[in-house]
Amino acid sequence: MSDAMPFDRGHTDGLMSFLAASPSPYHAVANAAARLAEAGFRQVAETEAWDASTGGKYVVRGGALIAWYVPEGATPATPFRIVGAHTDSPNLRVKPVPDTGAHGWRQVAVEIYGGTLLNTWLDRDLGISGRLTLRDGSTHLVNVDRPVLRVPQLAIHLDRQVNDGLKLERQRHMTPIWGLGSPREGDLLRFLAEESGLDSRQADGIAGWDLMTHSVEPPAHLGREGELVAGPRMDNLLSVHAGTAALAAVAQGGTEPAAIPVLAAFDHEENGSQSDTGAQGPLLGTVLERSVFARGGSWDDRARAWAGTVCLSSDTGHALHPNYPERHEPGHHPMPNRGPILKVNVNQRYSTDGAGRALFAAVCERAGVPWQTFVSHNDVPCGTTIGPLTAARHGITTVDIGVAILSMHSARELCGADDPYLLANCLTAFLGE
């Protein structure tokens, strides 16, 4: 890492810039790929033959990225060290027929993506981002990063019981407004084509889109000493950013790692990972297998490499909430700025076991990074991650870790300002061992 000392918040400032520049999974992948390209990585196409060359390589598929660094002296049976993360976050996504409205208001039809906290999207200035796909198959990123949408809340004068419990109907109450007048078919796409710099011919050729809303309020330090950071999409771009920085650091570190370091940034974790770019899909396994075979490996080499492979599934976890301490396990109280958390659930909602705990402890010790443990309260259902999916699908040792945050799945989340750097140091030590 380029940071000179523990708790240097230069890394966190970089994270804040990354969050602001990555309103969609497609932007996150493009920004991570650009950082890796600066570190000497080159993109390889899935449709082309791969060679046995060493160095850094990456594959981009939609909102997912798999990157790896082949060190000098690697054999076909050399195992992998994988950092797993995901690029998507809960939000409001544009429907196939977007232009709608009623009673003199122009609106945009949206679908709820993932388990978002709906109330956090109310009365918030929203931009719109994602990608446009033309008939020729080319894609164009779009990012309108200024207030164009808003989901207005009903005034308290018209609902005197609102503070006794807000109930939002997803279909009726979450449709954002973006102007006055009657809806016009194709209006939103014409606007976005213009914002993207597409000419009239290209605009007429838009055949598909993957669009979503985002809060335009930038990330910011918070607290008396600036010891906290508030911002969007920390779940889980915080881990994507840390993993990218760690992989680049290992590739540029001057010492060849014993294993092949990998960053696997998947899409669609927030809705179950069941896609060609999700952790339940074949993308990671296909890329790793092709890497083995490109270096002249056999199926036995592949099996040997898998047997020695370890994955750290890095995703955010829950910090102790001071207003709801009863929702947390009494003996496990993760706090901001005390290092990454080890996530444990014996029912395999997280994939960590005792051996994984020992491995993670050794990595943190080697990195000089403190760490904590998270386990759910027995009366509160435990969430899950890509960890169990990765372990089950590929048969590789997987350990669930992350950074403790508040307001998970909100349009704006909160973490400690030191923890992103501590996580990146931990991941660097892991990938570079």
Question: In angstroms, rounded to a whole number, what is the distance separating the alpha carbons of residues 423 and 265?
Answer: 16
pLDDT in tens, 398-414: 999 999 999 999 999 99
Supply 254's token pair: 């001057």
Please determine, for residue 1, whether its predicted confidence score (pLDDT) is greater than 60: no
State percent of the chain over pLDDT 70: 98
Please determine, for residue 117, whether its predicted confidence score (pLDDT) is greater than 90: yes
State percent of the chain over pLDDT 90: 95
The pLDDT assigned to 8 comes to 66
pLDDT in tens, 269-290: 999 999 999 999 999 999 999 9
Distances 74 to 250, 294, 333 between C-alpha atoms, Å: 15, 12, 42
Q: Where are the beta strands (DSSP E) in 36-151?
A: 42-43, 55-61, 64-70, 80-86, 91-102, 105-113, 126-134, 139-149
Name the region of 349 (left: φ>0; alpha: ψ -120 to 50; beta: rest). alpha
If one counts every other C-beta atom within 10 angstroms of the C-beta of residue 189, the result is 20
Secondary structure class of 138 (helix, strand, coil): coil
End-to-end CA distance of the chain: 14
Please determine, for residue 204, whether its predicted confidence score (pLDDT) is greater than 90: no
- Identify the structural domains of the chain with CATH numbers, from first to last: 10-89+232-431 (3.40.630.10), 91-215 (2.30.250.10)
CA–centroid distance for 300 within its chain:
33
Please determine, for residue 2, whether its predicted confidence score (pLDDT) is greater than 60: no
Q: How confident is the model at residue 7 (pLDDT cuts 50, 70, 90)?
A: low
Please determine, for residue 423, whether its predicted confidence score (pLDDT) is greater than 80: yes
Supply 257's token pair: 């790692």
pLDDT in tens, 65-74: 999 999 999 9
Question: In angstroms, rounded to a whole number, what is the distance separating the alpha carbons of residues 251 and 245?
Answer: 10
